[in-house]
Amino acid sequence: MAKQIDVERLNIYYRDFLAVEDVSMSIEARSVTAFIGPSGCGKSTFLRSLNRMHEVIPGARVQGRVVIDGQDLYAPEVDPVRVRASVGMVFQKPNPFPTMSIRENVAAGLKLNGKRMNKATVDDVVERSLRGANLWNEVKDRLDKPGAGLSGGQQQRLCIARAIAVQPEVLLMDEPCSALDPISTLAIEELISELKANYTIVIVTHNMQQAARVSDSCAFFNIAGTGKPGKLIEVGPTTKVFSTPSQQATEDYISGRFG
Ligand SMILES: Nc1ncnc2c1ncn2[C@@H]1O[C@H](COP(=O)(O)OP(=O)(O)OP(=O)(O)O)[C@@H](O)[C@H]1O
């Protein structure tokens, strides 16, 4: 399931504005990679380019390649809907479908994928996904109750269950804990550490401790000033980036001197 991602010379635009410039990096399978850097340096933009969510915004486009398992996601024959099924995404604010039950929320992506499944199979997928997201025990007796009735941390785990229900190869997470309390944050961090056995995980975080706790590799992005493009400054094993970064800007950011 988990796949390596190779990004080659990627430029990312909003109309004429170059938001992220010339990023090349490899993201390892079955590992957690954290994107860190000051506000506006393009972390979320770059993350969204990894599953073709970026181009949903009118005028937004990329140049360059994002290769997963030998396939360039931006090749003309590739269907972006399929890309988004194999590269799942979890957002900053938990966003369960408000009118749907817990069960329907988890199963929602299966229908979008157009796969025909009988009820028993759907129930199996729902249970497996909720177990995978460490939520099963808390919700197994209320599967037909609204997803919106869960706590924030439970809702975020529901969103993770919904994302993994379609068996993606990669999970992208854009500040998945920023709306959560410390206990729920810990639950999500533990879940991320478990999920990396099966998925390639990329997480954007503003929280340095979180990046240090959960990630195997860390990519630091920076921006020279307003209106300038964000750039990848360095990427490497998290222990190395945090203890002996190769760039002064990385050290300044990590030690809290700016950003
Ligand atoms: N929809 C959009 N249209 C035009 N410009 C955008 C859009 N979204 C983001 N940008 C611009 O792209 C640049 C990168 O933004 P992005 O949100 O990716 O940065 P970020 O590092 O994730 O920031 P933050 O940490 O504050 O979330 C910024 O200059 C931002 O203003």
Q: Could you give the ipTM of this predicted complex? A: 0.98
Q: What is the pLDDT of residues 35-56, one digit of tens each?
A: 999 999 999 999 999 999 999 9
44 lines ligand 1 (CB under 6 A): yes
91 lines ligand 1 (CB under 6 A): no
The pLDDT score that the predictor gives to residue 151 is: 94
Closest atom of ligand 1 relative to the 206 alpha carbon: 25
36 lines ligand 1 (CB under 6 A): no
Show the domains of the chain with their CATH numbers: 5-100+170-254 (3.40.50.300)
Residue-level pLDDT, tens digit, the chain, 259 residues: 789 999 999 999 999 999 999 999 999 999 999 999 999 999 999 999 999 999 999 999 999 999 998 999 999 999 999 899 899 999 999 999 999 999 999 999 887 666 678 899 999 999 999 999 999 999 999 999 999 999 999 999 999 999 999 989 999 999 999 988 898 899 899 999 999 999 999 999 999 999 999 999 999 999 999 899 999 999 999 999 999 999 999 999 999 877 6
C-alpha 195 to ligand 1 mean position (Å): 28
Residue 49 CA to residue 42 CA, distance in Å, equals 10
Give the per-residue SS3 of the chain: CCCCEEEEEEEEEECCEEEEEEEEEEECCCCEEEEECCCCCCHHHHHHHCCCCHHHCCCEEEEEEEEECCEECCCCCCCHHHHHHHEEEECCCCCCCCCCEHHHHHHHHHHHCCCCCCHHHHHHHHHHHHHHCCCHHHHCCCCCCEHHHCCHHHHHHHHHHHHHHCCCCEEEEECCCCCCCHHHHHHHHHHHHHHCCCCEEEEECCCHHHHHHHCCEEEEEEECCCCCCEEEEEEEEHHHHHHCCCCHHHHHHHCCCCC
The pLDDT score that the predictor gives to residue 258 is: 75
The pLDDT score that the predictor gives to residue 111 is: 73
14 lines ligand 1 (CB under 6 A): yes
Q: What is the pLDDT of residues 180-211, one digit of tens each?
A: 889 889 989 999 999 999 999 999 999 999 99
Residue nearest to atom 2 of ligand 1 (CA): 14
Q: Which of 18, 45, 202, 207 to mutate to test the pocket of ligand 1 (most atoms within 8 A of CB)?
A: 45
The pLDDT score that the predictor gives to residue 116 is: 75
224 lines ligand 1 (CB under 6 A): no
